[in-house]
Structure 1
Amino acid sequence: MGADRSVRLELYGMARYLVGKGVLDIPAESAATVGALLREAVRLAPALVGAVLEADGTPIAPNYILLDGRGAVASGDAVSDNDHPCLLVLASGG
């Protein structure tokens, strides 16, 4: 990843509501893996903690993270500045 580049984390549902905007630009050097990306998201948007992410960046539900439309990404999966990660919070209940 290049210097001064960023990974744009798209926010949907509750994540978007809590943060008050649809994207977080994460510095590329802080987003080498999915786990690192989410830890930086927590640092930049602490409102996500408790409702969407744990304080260490772990998703509260595993289906919240998509990478280029693929589900079931792992914390150690690599992220590049060409990827399009999404934090998707699905409503549940009856």
Structure 2
Amino acid sequence: MNDEAHWRDDIASLIFSVRGHGAICAVHRGALRTLLGAEPSPKDCLGYFLRFEDAFRAAAAAKIARKGIPAGTNLHLTSRDIARKLIEDAQIGRGEQS
């Protein structure tokens, strides 16, 4: 599922394609530092993406919808964009266990 995720040194960002949008999404190292609570290596960033890929993709879809980003237009996610989806996922998960 994550075959297109990779690290770009030139912009210090994790990059993944946005399926159905024809664009890429970037998440800067600073956003990932905020989420991880430490200065991450590119490997740390990719590992975090793998662990929470659904939240990253949901955050990208939500931002596209919220901002009306046209198809084919690249975008970036902030730590807040991703954290919002991680919190939603955690709340949903707890709700299903009740």
The alignment's TM-score, normalised by the length of structure 2, stands at 0.31
Higher RCO (CA < 8 A, seq sep 6+): 1
The structure that is helix-richer by fraction is 2
Higher-Rg structure is 2
The alignment's TM-score, normalised by the length of structure 1, stands at 0.32
